[in-house]
Amino acid sequence: MASNPTPQRQLRTHRPKRPVARVLNSAEHHAWLARHLTDRDRWLCRMLFEHHVLTSTQIIDIAFTGRRGANLRLRNLYQWGVLHRFQPHRDRGSHPMHYVLDTAGAVALAREDGIDPKELGYSREREIGRAFSLQLAHTVGSNGLFTTLIRRARQPGAAGVLAAWWSAARCGRHWGDIVTPDGYGRWREAGRDVEWFIEFDFGTEQLSRLASKLARYERLAEVTGITTPVLVWLPSARREVNARRAMAEALRGLDRPARVPVATSSGEATADPLDMAAPRWLRLDEPGTAGRVALADLPTLWPDLRASAPGGGQRPTAAVPGAARPEMAPPSPMPPPDPACPWR
């Protein structure tokens, strides 16, 4: 017969403890962080400020070479109040840990850019509240399209590099009065830049609403003077067929359909459902001209589309209406070199 049984609380896995909030928010703690945060840590803070939430798997893809080193560093950043983390509920199995920016990380960013932390627009309650957001899966999935590109670009001998990645929030601040893409990206390969807007469809939006966005992209092209491909990712081949039908009808109704080059793909088009660089993109109109092409070959779908030159600079944007705080520049999608870090 068992005697003196072990209490249940002692059977739980170890949970790293953090100092109380007043210690994490103290001037002494921020001064201590200035000596311990690496360039890669600060870059990761900027990525989370821009893109809101990244899973541990996505962070490994963009910043580390192994899971063990990543977990050790992420644990430290969590304990230091630089990052916060949560694990969403799942009926079967478990989700990876999700990370958002915490107060100490936001203060470090603000001080680094000479901004008053109160003017940064950061809210800890909002960031932690993303754990309960109905948009969480959409945000994580959309971010996964870009983190997969960064992972590809970090491989030895990689031919391409992700030169720009704007979040939906940044796109909304600049073009939200017309249309808000789920992201903007620029891929550089073989001496040529390819840029695009992404529409990440999770199967929850009415196809008629998705198709109606094409008219807004036409207006955006007229306002900016730049014709930019719109890539539409859909969860299944069947959804892609139905979406293409609805969008083709909407495209025919535009005054200048050439202003809105559209290509689609589904999560079933390739072995890796989120690998944007793979040959998966199919032009919306005249689908028989080239078949599915890779991201770097998008210009072959629209031969008359002016190709961007390498280092072509920033896209023209309108002034952010009602902006009461300074706008932080978008971070470079590629991590900084940090050979001194053993956890790289």
Q: Calculate mean pLDDT across residues 308-328.
A: 53
Same-domain pairing of 153 and 43:
no
313 has a pLDDT exceeding 50: no
pLDDT at 16: 57
95 has a pLDDT exceeding 90: no
Q: Quick: pLDDT tens for 156-166.
A: 999 999 999 99
Q: Which residue has the tokens 């992972």?
A: 151
pLDDT at 25: 78
Contact 193, 309 (CB under 8 A): yes
* pLDDT band at residue 209 using 50, 70 and 90 as cut-offs: very high
Q: Calculate mean pLDDT across residues 211-231.
A: 96
Contact 131, 87 (CB under 8 A): no
d(CA 24, CA 32): 10
Buried b or exposed e, range 176-203, using 16+ CB within 10 angstroms:
bebbbbbbbbbbbbeebbbbbbbbbbee
Same-domain pairing of 144 and 292:
yes
d(CA 71, CA 319): 40
Tell me how far apart the terminal alpha carbons of the chain are, to the nearest angstrom: 51
pLDDT at 344: 41
How high does pLDDT run on average in the chain?
87
Q: Where does a domain end: 91, 113, 132?
A: 132
d(CA 8, CA 206): 48
pLDDT at 26: 82
d(CA 197, CA 220): 11
pLDDT at 164: 97
Q: Quick: pLDDT tens for 7-42.
A: 444 434 455 566 666 567 788 888 999 999 999 999
If residue 84 lies in a helix (H) or strand (E), which one and from where to where? strand 83-86
Q: Is residue 174 part of a domain?
A: yes
Same-domain pairing of 158 and 286:
yes
pTM: 0.88
119 vs 304 pLDDT, higher one: 119
Q: Is residue 312 part of a domain?
A: no
pLDDT at 5: 52
Both structure tokens of 39? 């360039």
Q: Quick: pLDDT tens for 255-274.
A: 999 999 999 999 999 999 99
For helices 39-51 and 56-63, what crossing angle results, to 10°? Answer: 130
Q: Is residue 189 part of a domain?
A: yes
Q: Is residue 308 part of a domain?
A: no
Same-domain pairing of 153 and 292:
yes
Among 143-152, 236-245, 284-293, the least confident range: 284-293
Contact 167, 181 (CB under 8 A): no
Which residue from 185, 147, 190 is spatially nearest to 168, judged by alpha carbons? 185
Among 85-99, 207-221, 315-329, the least confident range: 315-329
Q: Calculate mean pLDDT across residues 316-328.
A: 57
Q: Is residue 207 part of a domain?
A: yes
CATH code for position 33: 1.10.10.10
pLDDT at 343: 40
Q: Is 52 exposed, middle or buried (0-12, 13-18, 19+ CB in 10 A)?
A: buried
Strands of 183-189's sheet in order across:
160-167, 183-189, 192-200, 230-234, 262-266, 282-283
d(CA 3, CA 43): 53
Q: Is 205 exposed, middle or buried (0-12, 13-18, 19+ CB in 10 A)?
A: middle
* pLDDT band at residue 91 using 50, 70 and 90 as cut-offs: confident
Same-domain pairing of 240 and 294:
yes
338 has a pLDDT exceeding 70: no
Q: Is residue 72 part of a domain?
A: yes
204 vs 230 pLDDT, higher one: 230
pLDDT at 89: 83
Q: Calculate mean pLDDT across residues 108-137.
A: 93
- For residue 231, what are the β-bridge partners? 198, 263
Q: Calculate mean pLDDT across residues 299-314.
A: 65
Q: Calculate mean pLDDT across residues 113-132.
A: 93
- For residue 188, what are the β-bridge partners? 161, 193
Q: Calculate mean pLDDT across residues 202-218.
A: 95
* pLDDT band at residue 287 using 50, 70 and 90 as cut-offs: low
Same-domain pairing of 94 and 154:
no
Q: Which residues make Cβ contacts (< 8 Å) with residue 105, sequence separation at least 6?
A: 45, 48, 49, 77, 81, 82, 83
Q: Which domain covers residue 99, as residue numbers?
A: 27-132
Same-domain pairing of 286 and 273:
yes
Domain count, the chain: 2
Q: Which residues make Cβ contacts (< 8 Å) with residue 244, sequence separation at least 6?
A: 264, 282, 284, 287
189 has a pLDDT exceeding 60: yes
In percent, the amount of the chain with pLDDT more than 70 equals 84
In percent, the amount of the chain with pLDDT more than 90 equals 74
Q: Report in angstroms the alpha-carbon separations of 311 from 75, 191, 296, 304, 315.
A: 37, 10, 16, 21, 11
Q: Is residue 231 part of a domain?
A: yes
